[in-house]
């Protein structure tokens, strides 16, 4: 079974049916199961012109359980964006919600970052026997470009991401979301994630860095243009993403992810997140 805060990589051109089957396997292996009323909080995901994001949800449990949930999306200010949907599903039943990035951006390579969200329909968290996943796909072919499942964090454990390799004409984006479920990172109750987002090359030299102070559900990111690290087609460079908590704090309230972005299209081709 996959442990908590373990990174998960899912990337381009996976058939969408296979991606949803993988969602089921991960849910049974260590994802959000029927006894857990906690909202499904996803890492930062983004897209550009010609992309669609699809939020999937399925029912778990036995014949007497229900998945009664609200599906939607939030921007980096934690504001609702795009459509929302309420679902009431039995075991084995599935539903989805889609958002076309063409409604959020107007030109190629322009990006919009957001996070999917699945929350219990009932205030007491009852009847929330649900599993979920999110996909970014290209609607012309219907093929997936990237896939993610909800991030599951333990209080007091800082997120860890392994190294990621990238090439010419790609951008590596390290993003963080302030976790609304965990205790504040510092004395200010409005700050959930106070840290430096850091990218290092293979020699351990910092090549990109940004300080963030994020409230619940709010996000920010730092980018690295890989054209500054490699100079010819086929050459690859390995980058180590990291998060350094502010002095006297913990980074456990930061939900982090890495995206690889194609510079010609603005499309995400890989998402790595802590799970």
What are the pLDDT digits (tens) for 140-180? 989 899 988 886 655 556 677 878 999 999 999 999 999 87
pLDDT band with cut points at 50, 70 and 90 for residue 187: low
- Please give the average per-residue pLDDT across 124-138, as a whole number: 93
Task: Please tell me the distance from the alpha carbon of residue 41 to that of residue 152, in angstroms, as a whole number.
Answer: 8
Average pLDDT, the chain: 84
> How many C-alpha atoms does 106 have within 13 Å on its Cβ side?
0
E strand or H helix that includes residue 36: none
pLDDT for res 28: 40
pLDDT band with cut points at 50, 70 and 90 for residue 135: very high
List pLDDT tens digits, range 192-239.
889 999 999 999 999 999 999 999 899 999 999 999 999 999 999 999
Task: Please tell me the distance from the alpha carbon of residue 206 to that of residue 108, in angstroms, as a whole number.
Answer: 30
Residue closest to 258 by CA, chosen among 275, 234, 246? 275
pLDDT band with cut points at 50, 70 and 90 for residue 24: very low
Q: How far is CA 46 from CA 33, 259, 267, in A?
A: 26, 8, 8
pLDDT for res 186: 58
Instruction: Name residue 54's beta-bridge partners.
Output: 98, 135
Residue 108 has pLDDT above 80, yes or no: yes
List pLDDT tens digits, range 173-185.
999 999 876 655 5
pLDDT band with cut points at 50, 70 and 90 for residue 274: low
pLDDT for res 153: 57
pLDDT for res 35: 44
pLDDT band with cut points at 50, 70 and 90 for residue 111: very high
Task: Please tell me the distance from the alpha carbon of residue 63 to that of residue 176, in angstroms, as a whole number.
Answer: 38
3-state SS, residue 182: coil
List pLDDT tens digits, range 253-270.
888 999 999 999 999 999
Distance of CA 169 to the CA centre of its chain: 22
E strand or H helix that includes residue 24: helix 16-30
Residue closest to 12 by CA, chosen among 147, 163, 165? 147
Task: Please tell me the distance from the alpha carbon of residue 28 to that of residue 134, in angstroms, as a whole number.
Answer: 17
Question: pTM for this structure?
Answer: 0.79
Q: How many CB atoms lie within 10 A of CB 141?
A: 9
Who contacts 229 (Cβ-Cβ below 8 Å, separation ≥6)?
Answer: 166, 201, 207, 237, 239
pLDDT for res 204: 92
Query: Is the distance from CB of 230 to CB of 236 less than 8 angstroms?
Result: yes
pLDDT band with cut points at 50, 70 and 90 for residue 39: confident
- pLDDT-above-70 percentage for the chain: 80
Hey, CA dihedral for 231, 237, 242, 246, is it positive or negative?
negative
Q: How far is CA 204 from CA 116, 158, 171, 241, 257, in A?
A: 33, 20, 19, 11, 20
Q: How far is CA 225 from CA 86, 109, 144, 256, 263, in A?
A: 39, 14, 24, 19, 9
Residue 19 has pLDDT above 80, yes or no: no
- Please give the average per-residue pLDDT across 30-39, as a whole number: 54
pLDDT for res 136: 96
């Amino acid at each position: 079974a996959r442990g908590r805060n373990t990174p998960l990589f899912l990337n381009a051109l996976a058939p969408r049916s296979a991606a949803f089957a993988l969602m089921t396997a991960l849910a049974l292996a260590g994802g959000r199961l029927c006894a857990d009323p906690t909202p499904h909080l996803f890492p930062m995901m983004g897209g550009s012109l010609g992309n669609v994001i699809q939020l999937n949800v399925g029912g778990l449990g036995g014949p007497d359980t229900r998945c009664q949930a609200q599906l939607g999306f939030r921007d980096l200010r934690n504001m609702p964006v795009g459509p929302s949907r309420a679902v009431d599903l039995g075991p084995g039943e599935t539903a989805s919600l889609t958002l076309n990035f063409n409604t959020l951006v107007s030109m190629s390579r322009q990006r919009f970052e957001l996070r999917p969200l699945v929350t219990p329909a009932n205030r007491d968290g009852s009847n929330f026997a649900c599993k979920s996943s999110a996909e970014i796909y290209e609607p012309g072919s219907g093929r997936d470009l990237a896939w993610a499942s909800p991030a599951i964090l333990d209080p007091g454990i800082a997120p860890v991401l392994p190294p990621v390799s990238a090439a010419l004409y790609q951008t590596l984006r390290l993003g963080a979301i302030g976790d609304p479920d965990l205790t504040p990172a510092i004395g200010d109750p409005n700050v959930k994630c106070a840290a430096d987002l850091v990218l290092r090359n293979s020699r351990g030299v910092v090549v990109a860095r940004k300080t963030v102070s994020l409230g619940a559900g709010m996000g920010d990111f730092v980018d690295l243009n890989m054209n500054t690290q490699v100079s010819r087609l086929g050459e690859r460079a390995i980058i180590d993403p990291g998060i350094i908590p502010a002095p006297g704090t913990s980074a456990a309230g930061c939900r982090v992810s890495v995206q690889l972005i194609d510079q010609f299209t603005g499309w995400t081709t890989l998402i790595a997140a802590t799970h």
